Structure 1
Amino acid sequence: MIHKILLSFIHIFLLMNLFIVNAQSSSNVELLDIEKNEITKTVTTNPKIQLEAEIIIKEIDNVVKKLKPIPDKGYMIKIPLEPSHRVENKWIYALIDEVIIIIPKNEKPYLLLFDDENKSYFFTFDSKIDPLLNTLDFSL
């Protein structure tokens, strides 16, 4: 009897892990129009998108010094990182599982990252986002 119960728990555990893995592997890149407050495009992530996001993260050069860092107009691109990426600099030391690129209208883009405790960080970076936009087939 105990053997059957234990075997049932193992099956349930394996099925739950399978569902979790499938849900994580179907992560998409989302493009949000800030003014409309709606997702205008969804793209399945791929290694090229992941690479472009990692390049941008490595080029963090300062913190955003704005009282209101989320603009009224522009776009936000949410990129899930698979696997998570360790970010280590003088402002943050955390494992990041997604990058949000904020593209304000008529300003340079910047990043929004969340640490392990869900604390938000806004960073400027010294990298072009054109390769990423081209990969996403999106133009401003």
Structure 2
Amino acid sequence: MVRKIMLSSAPLFFLFFLFTDNGEAVKNIELFHIGKNKIVKTIPTNPTIQSEAEKILKTADSVVKKLNPIPDQGYMIRIPLEPPVQLENKWINALIDEVILIIPEEEKPHILIFDDENNMYFFTFQRKMDTIIKALDIPPLL
């Protein structure tokens, strides 16, 4: 059982280091294709996308209850928040400076955020992502 947990958490550690920037502020929005294991699009920070990400963040309504919340196929969108947004709910009270939207191939999307101490939180949300998907012109999964 411990081995299964360790193996299923390996992608989370990889993603943490993949998205970690050596102290420099990330100013770009990044679209990461999970299946290809690479960033497929980078665009400058966009106020419309940033605003939508803040709205999604504020509709976080439940903790994702999967052992491995990172799917094998789908996209992850890293959106820096400038200025950072205060998120306070029953699970977290922290200043959030980036949101990572996870869009699985065949499941509902969810978000990944890090608190001030770099603890990971995965939340479900209620807001539609149409504006972000359209603004990023996300291609279908191949």
What CA distance in whole angstroms lies between the structure 2 residues aligned with 1:125 and 1:132?
Answer: 14
* Identity level (%): 61
SS of equivalent to 1:132: helix
TM-score if structure 2 supplies the norm length? 0.79
Amino acid at match of 1:96: I
What CA distance in whole angstroms lies between the structure 2 residues aligned with 1:27 and 1:120?
Answer: 21
Q: Deviations over 1:20-50 (max 9, x none)?
A: xxx64x6100000001110000011121011
Contact 1:133 1:139 in 2 (8 A): no
Residue 44 of structure 2 corresponds to residue 44 of structure 1: yes
Deviation at 1:137, TM superposition (A): 2.1
Q: Identify the residue that residue 58 of structure 1 maps to in structure 2.
A: 58
Q: Identify the residue that residue 77 of structure 1 maps to in structure 2.
A: 77
Residue 106 of structure 2 corresponds to residue 106 of structure 1: yes
The gaps in structure 1 that reach 5 residues or longer are 1-22
SS of equivalent to 2:123: strand
Name whichever of 115-124 and 46-55 sits farther off. 46-55
Tell me which stretches of 4 or more aligned residues in structure 1 moved more than 6 Å.
none
Q: Deviations over 1:79-122 (max 9, x none)?
A: 00011111011111000110000001111100000000000000
The gaps in structure 2 that reach 5 residues or longer are 1-23
What CA distance in whole angstroms lies between the structure 1 residues aligned with 2:104 and 2:37?
Answer: 14
What CA distance in whole angstroms lies between the structure 2 residues aligned with 1:102 and 1:33?
Answer: 10
Residue 58 of structure 2 corresponds to residue 86 of structure 1: no
Contact 1:80 1:99 in 2 (8 A): yes
Higher Cα Rg: structure 1 or 2?
A: 1
What CA distance in whole angstroms lies between the structure 2 residues aligned with 1:30 and 1:132?
Answer: 12
Contact 2:49 2:131 in 1 (8 A): no
Please tell me the root mean square deviation across aligned C-alpha atoms, in Å: 1.2
